Structure 1
């Protein structure tokens, strides 16, 4: 069945009709007709969002999230593709496991679930995982990461960068020097952490690893991606590396664009995240870097946790926050409302560039005839209040509970098929 999106503002520009037939955009213009239509007047049409950094917890921690519930959250958040991190149980460090994740995502069919392969066996940071087998597998892995742990051994990081290069793949680094921010570190190191008695996590623990890794990327001629940048110092390292032509890209999370470490003062574990929330000056630096393109992408780091892992004293609680359903609204609040990005800029940072970094065909494409119909319709004036009980995730650990966000997703389309509309999943999800 054909579908016309009537009067949509493509990339925030002039209203047009967009005709979808089969899996592609058939026409863009005026007075188009189809079997069905959505009145999109006043709405913004973007390419479907792409998340480089999602924790779906399956296999192994289905009490916190499943590929089905995470896919539903993604579709409701406007995403048409997500990259599932490797820190599952068992770890996604073999071709068999990444293929299992990809198959399950395809079976559910709400978003394209792209597995991320581990860099090291068991995330132990000692020997390389089966990178070649995962890259050549049916899952065709193009992003490798030990996220949750840093590849701290310089020799192993160098070998990983060399190994992925022939596949056009990228190493996505969780930048955290374990000797500067050990397993006890849980809050930004500063006056506040000292006053609260919380083990501090210094900015230099992130910045020093990024500095090392950009030099290794230059040495190997391979691609490096920096996960969840959180400090102004890291921004400056990345800016310097890009000025030298080093193949480095970077992401920032929505929560690091909006929340500051002052929120930790109440010891609420919902604000415990890895890397930690930082001071306001870092938030300003991250926003400016996303606006000028030094930071390439927004990635959610969607990290669901069961209540029995999160509801503890701050120092003992699990790290992480939900992000898929709130990401677009948070970016609208942090970047669009103050003019730092327009909607075309949001499309670039949340779809076009993430798809390019991951070498993900069919996503992040222009809204033009012949392009894949992976799309999201947004109401730029559709303010909504976050209610954890109404989120699709199996977990409830959102830091935005009760927050009003300024823009909402009206519909998500994956290869010409509606997956979410008006806050509800269109296709049944198999739990």
Structure 2
């Protein structure tokens, strides 16, 4: 099967203007005035921007167990609509993929129900909430990309250390939801003046930073690849920077909403602004931006977390934590950071494609001959308004609805096949 893409403006690690040919899911030629073999699909981009397919190492597809929120099919469609060709799904499901049988069943469904590449994390501990370790060797052999209890911080230090040792033995990362429940309490937003103004219980920065400091010490001792999810505080950035200087094998992600918003931007007691970790202070937000720019933070991951309308209606006190992000991430970040000259487009592509692929050992993130034909095409010129009526996700829980942005996905191509077309 051939696909010929004409007149592309390629951005990323290897910039290029011209044509691209794919054959059987692989980029087979780059050049000018390439000729199409017989039975070739031809797409003329007319100078539109082509980049390596976006890679998201943190999504929640909710299936099995919570299909009212999302399914593998709708989640993958949403990701493709946002320009993602590769995602990694979290294991906070029912049943939890904490054994080989359930993991294999889930991986098989990821393959059959998605037009993009969907990798899977398995659980660190049985049922997520226990101190019983899973079979790291068996789960890794069955296809687990790594191990996470996302949604639940591992509370016991010895349990986490032993998990790190087990994951290190099978060359797999520990992907940590960093949360000390003793500090979390009943907090629903960041502790500080805005929480006081809104009369809502606050969540201390220590909820994240105390457990992160513990984990970085354990990661150094175990030698595991430790990945910090959804980093949200300035102190966390400092801790990761210090750990990297010591040679700790740590990578870290930041979510778009933590780059775009601070707690001072929350207009009212609005459930659309409830996420975990919460929106922090403007000082924290600026530290996250600086952490990306200096390499302390390695990538941007959406933490796409769909919920039903009922779960995100009313006060933050009773609403679920989390917002969707797959279909808005690139456009929001391009509009707010690239168009304002804070980031370059090449940096954004690196953080949203090349770097996450490299850090997690995924064969993606480059537009080169011999590489997989995982490609994203964006219209960067025409503005549009974020409207959930245009989304594929079942979840419409986002504080960004109604914003005017640039960066509309025109094509998402995964393995040489069109997964989304505008």
Q: Does 1:155 align with 2:158?
A: yes
Q: Does 1:116 align with 2:117?
A: no
Q: Which piece of structure 1 moves more, 141-150 or 59-68?
A: 141-150
Deviations 1:343-380 (A, max 9, x none): 322222111221223222x322x211111101111122
Distance 1:412 1:325 in 2: 12
Q: Does 1:106 align with 2:107?
A: no
Question: Match for residue 189 of structure 1?
Answer: 191
Aligned counterparts, 1:203-282, within 5 A: 203-282=205-284
Question: Match for residue 302 of structure 1?
Answer: 304
Question: Match for residue 171 of structure 1?
Answer: 174
Distance 1:222 1:341 in 2: 31
Deviation at 1:36, TM superposition (A): 2.9
Q: Does 1:26 align with 2:32?
A: no
Question: Match for residue 38 of structure 1?
Answer: 43
Deviation at 1:382, TM superposition (A): 3.4
Question: Match for residue 15 of structure 1?
Answer: 17
Deviation at 1:258, TM superposition (A): 0.6
Contact kept? 2:6, 2:19, Cα under 8 Å: yes
Question: Match for residue 401 of structure 1?
Answer: 401
Q: Give the alignment's TM-score, normalised by structure 2.
A: 0.95
Question: Match for residue 138 of structure 2?
Answer: 133
Deviation at 1:127, TM superposition (A): 1.4
Q: Does 1:146 align with 2:152?
A: no
Question: Which of 68, 83, 86 is matched with 2:88 structurally?
Answer: 83
Aligned counterparts, 1:265-344, within 5 A: 265-344=267-346
Q: CA RMSD in A?
A: 1.4
Distance 1:49 1:125 in 2: 34
Question: Match for residue 429 of structure 1?
Answer: none
Aligned counterparts, 1:406-425, within 5 A: 406-422=406-422
Structure 1, gaps ≥5 residues long: 423-431
Question: Match for residue 72 of structure 2?
Answer: 67
Distance 1:7 1:206 in 2: 47
Distance 2:246 2:337 in 1: 28
Question: Match for residue 198 of structure 1?
Answer: 200
Contact kept? 1:6, 1:18, Cα under 8 Å: yes
Deviations 1:254-291 (A, max 9, x none): 11111121233411101100000112221111112112
**What secondary structure does 2:122 align onto?**
coil
**What secondary structure does 2:356 align onto?**
helix
Q: Does 1:368 align with 2:364?
A: no
**What secondary structure does 2:133 align onto?**
coil
**What secondary structure does 2:303 align onto?**
coil
- How many residues align? The count is 417
Regions of 4+ moved over 3 Å: none
Distance 1:334 1:93 in 2: 39
Deviation at 1:47, TM superposition (A): 1.2
Distance 1:288 1:38 in 2: 39
Distance 1:114 1:8 in 2: 29
Contact kept? 2:198, 2:268, Cα under 8 Å: no
Deviation at 1:14, TM superposition (A): 4.2
Deviation at 1:204, TM superposition (A): 2.1
Contact kept? 2:77, 2:114, Cα under 8 Å: no
Taking a change above 3 Å as real, the CA distance of residues 383 and 11 of structure 1, as seen in their structure-2 partners, is same
Deviation at 1:65, TM superposition (A): 0.3
Q: Give the alignment's TM-score, normalised by structure 1.
A: 0.94
